[in-house]
Structure 1
Amino acid sequence: MKNNENSDIHLVINIAQQTLILYQHNKKMAQYAVSTAKNGIGSQQDSGCTPLGKHFIAKKIGASEPINTVFIGRVPTGEIYEAKLGMLHPERDWILSRILWLGGVEEGLNKGSNSEGGCDTYQRYIYIHGTPDSEPMGEPLSHGCIRMRNEDIIKLFDQVEAGTSVVIIAH
């Protein structure tokens, strides 16, 4: 896991606007609607919140998988998501198509721990990932991760690499 701050590509996730913007050479190249945490902003372990600050893509998972591939524990289950499968398992938090696993770089904010306990984005399994197309975008509904449309996460996945800088801002 290493942060590639010198890359010409970086991502900015804006929680108030529920957007993810891809910049290349500081020029806006793409903007996507996202869904961040229903519980709001925060970095503590088990908070169900989306962490703020400087991050990087620690791992890319699912490169060759078909769209709507279902992941559990970052491993494809062999299932392809469809509405019927969603109705059979309403309790699942669907992680689909691709996973960009984030790591924090700011000690005590989104890396390691602080006076309140663990606050490590990577250890909290915070991802940018696909979600069922029936799930709304543009409103905070996740368990801490950044959800995207499946077609969007596949496009984004192909444009970034491990080490790409990701900044999560409140507004």
Structure 2
Amino acid sequence: MKDFDKHIIINIAKQSLSLYKHDVKICQYGVSTAKNGIGSQQDSGCTPLGRHIIAQKIGGHEPINAVFVGRVPTGEIHSAEFGADYPERDWILTRILWLQGLEEGINKGSNDKGGCDTYQRYIYIHGTPDNESMDLPLSHGCVRMRNQDIVELYDKIEEGVAVTIIAS
């Protein structure tokens, strides 16, 4: 049975993700959102605001630091040495929570500027290398978390849980 008494709020100004149950905060994590700031347009590299849901949970049985490409585990395990060998890669590690926007023309579908669909933009909450900074906006649009934190969050929620991304 799905637990819709839980919801997530991602605060871009605070670079934080908070999980609530019955409007009581049960945990909070540091995150890293987009280096390019707030926005929803296709190819903007920005983090979209507004109401979303967790559309898909991916990687529940993968080990910590498992590397994903196109939402598929590659069989690689990230380490600092491995990462140094491939500095151009944008690492998606450990778990993926794929977001789907709920607001037509804001984070779903398109608007007068073109595509603005969070799901079609492949915006996730996902693990990132442990040497990456949290609390600083450095991603390409996704919400990055520490690997241990994304495992903990992944285990506490289900698909369909509400996610609201706010500026402050």
What is the root-mean-square deviation in Å for CA atoms of aligned residues?
A: 0.9
Pairing partner for 1:56 from 50, 53, 56: 53
1:83-124, Cα deviation, whole Å (9 max, x unpaired): 111011000000000000000000000000000000000000
C-alpha distance in 1 between matches for 2:4 and 2:55: 14
C-alpha distance in 2 between matches for 1:160 and 1:45: 28
Over the matched positions of the two proteins, sequence identity in percent amounts to 69
Match status 1:136 vs 2:133:
yes
Return the TM-score normalized by structure 1.
0.97
- Give the 3-state SS of the residue equivalent to 2:150 in structure 1: helix
Structure 2 counterpart of 1:72, which letter? Answer: V
Structure 2 counterpart of 1:97, which letter? Answer: T
Structure 2 counterpart of 1:13, which letter? Answer: I
Question: Which residue in 1 is equivalent to 2:18?
Answer: 21
Structure 2 gap segments, 5+ residues each: none
Question: Which residue in 1 is equivalent to 2:121?
Answer: 124
Structure 1 gap segments, 5+ residues each: none
C-alpha distance in 1 between matches for 2:166 and 2:148: 24
1:110-152, Cα deviation, whole Å (9 max, x unpaired): 0000000000000000000000000000010000000000000
- Give the 3-state SS of the residue equivalent to 2:153 in structure 1: helix
Structure 1 counterpart of 2:17, which letter? Answer: L
Question: Which residue in 2 is equivalent to 1:104?
Answer: 101
C-alpha distance in 2 between matches for 1:83 and 1:133: 8
Return the TM-score normalized by structure 2.
0.98
Question: Which residue in 1 is equivalent to 2:166?
Answer: 169
Structure 1 counterpart of 2:10, which letter? Answer: I
Shift of 1:36: 0.1
Pairing partner for 1:43 from 37, 40, 43: 40
